[in-house]
Structure 1
Amino acid sequence: MNTTIVSRKARPEDVEALFELIQGYAEKGIMLPRSRVALLRHIDSFVVVEDAGKLIGCGSLFRLGSDLVEIRSLGMSEGYKGMGIGSRIVDALIDEARRMNIPKVMALTYEVKFFLKNGFSVVDKEIFPEKVWTDCVHCSKRNNCDEIAVVRILE
C-alpha cells in the first residue's frame, strides 16, 4: 500500500471532510446523513484514512448496548476502493471494540461480500432491537429496509 496512506483517530478539524464524504453516500441513499454538529459531537468515535493529508475514508463505532456496537458511516472516496482501505478501517474499529470489551460488532450494509471477507456473518436484522429503536425508527426506509445485517463476534 502507498506509504502516504495513513489511518488515525478523527479530529475536530476533520468534520467538514467527513461531512462531504458521508453526504455523497447519503445523496445516493446508501448511508444515513450526519450533520456537522453530530459529527463534531461524535468525532472521537471516527477513524479516518488519509492519502498525503487528504481524508479519503472513514468509519465510526456507535455503542448500541452493553455488549453491542455498530460500524457506521463506513466509506471512502472514489478511486480508492479495492485497495484495502475499508478493511483497514474495519480492523481499527474492531480493535476499538475489543478495547471497550464489547463482544459483538454489527453493521447494516449493501456490501455484504466486503463484510463477509472481514469475518462477519449475515444475520436477521430483527435480532438487534437496539438498532431498530435507535436509528431505524427515524429512517425513511424503516418499513421497507433493504440493508443486510451482519455481525462479528469477537474472541
Structure 2
Amino acid sequence: MSVVCRKALPEDVEALHELIQGYAAKGIMLPRSREALARNIDTFIVAQDGERLIGCGSLCRLGSDLVEIRSLGIVEGYKGQGIGSRLVDALMAEAKAQGIPKVMALTYESSFFQKNGFIIVDKEIFPEKVWTDCVNCPKQHACDEIAVVRIVEPTPIEEQLTFAQI
C-alpha cells in the first residue's frame, strides 16, 4: 500500500460524494451535495491508494483564527492503518500555511483526535460553529458530538497557557 495525501481535485468530487454519503447514511457525518463539494474542492485533502480515493477531510474557516476539520472519513478496509492521522497532519499543515492558529472538530471519535494532539473542550466556546452550522442541524438541541481543539504549533508562550485561556 502506497498511500499519498494530496489536495483534492475536481475529478475527485464523485468519489468524495460516495465516501461522505456512506457516513451520512449512518448519521455520523453531515451529507454534502456534489455541487457543494465541487464549490469547496479546494478545502479538501484526500488520501489515495494507487488510483483509489480512500479517505478525505476538509477545513472550513469559522473565523480569522479558527478552522474546523470536517468530513474526515476513511473507506472501510483502510481504517486503523494511520491514514486518518496522516490526513489530520496534512490538514494541520494546511491550517498553518493559512496562518490559522486553532483547529477544532465535532466528533464521535474523540479518542482518535486525542491521539492526534487535540483536547476535549466545551462546544459552547465555539460560537462561530454554533451560528454557522449548528442552527440548521437536526440534532441542534440534542447534540451528542464531542468538541475537540488543537493549537497549530504553539509558540513557547502559548504552550504555557491552558486551552481555557486561549
Q: Please, what is the CA RMSD of the aligned residues?
A: 0.5
Report Cα offsets for 1:112-150 as digits up to 9, x if no partner.
110000000000000000000111111100000000000
SS at match of 1:140: coil
The residue aligned with 1:90 is: 88
The residue aligned with 1:126 is: 124
Q: Distance in 2 between matches of 1:27 and 1:135?
A: 19
Residue segments in structure 2 that go unaligned for 5+ positions in a row: 155-166
1:45 and 2:43 equivalent?
yes
SS at match of 2:141: coil
How much has 1:46 moved relative to structure 2? Answer: 0.2
Q: Distance in 2 between matches of 1:36 and 1:142?
A: 24
1:12 and 2:10 equivalent?
yes
Amino acid at match of 2:100: I
Q: Distance in 2 between matches of 1:17 and 1:111?
A: 23
Q: Distance in 2 between matches of 1:150 and 1:69?
A: 12
Alignment of 1:55-66 (within 5 A): 55-66=53-64
1:76 alignment partner, one of 66, 74, 77: 74
Report Cα offsets for 1:74-119 as digits up to 9, x if no partner.
0010011110000000000000000111110000000011000000
Compare CA radii of gyration and give the structure with the larger one: 2
Q: How many residues align?
A: 153
How much has 1:6 moved relative to structure 2? Answer: 1.1
TM-score, scaled relative to structure 1: 0.97
How much has 1:52 moved relative to structure 2? Answer: 1.4
1:150 and 2:148 equivalent?
yes
1:22 and 2:54 equivalent?
no
Q: Runs in 1 of length 4+ with deviation above 4 angstroms?
A: none
Q: Distance in 2 between matches of 1:32 and 1:153?
A: 25
How much has 1:153 moved relative to structure 2? Answer: 1.1
Amino acid at match of 1:73: S
SS at match of 1:56: strand
Amino acid at match of 2:34: R
SS at match of 2:140: coil
Residue segments in structure 1 that go unaligned for 5+ positions in a row: none
Higher helix fraction (1 or 2):
2
The residue aligned with 1:114 is: 112
- Identical counterparts, % of pairs: 74
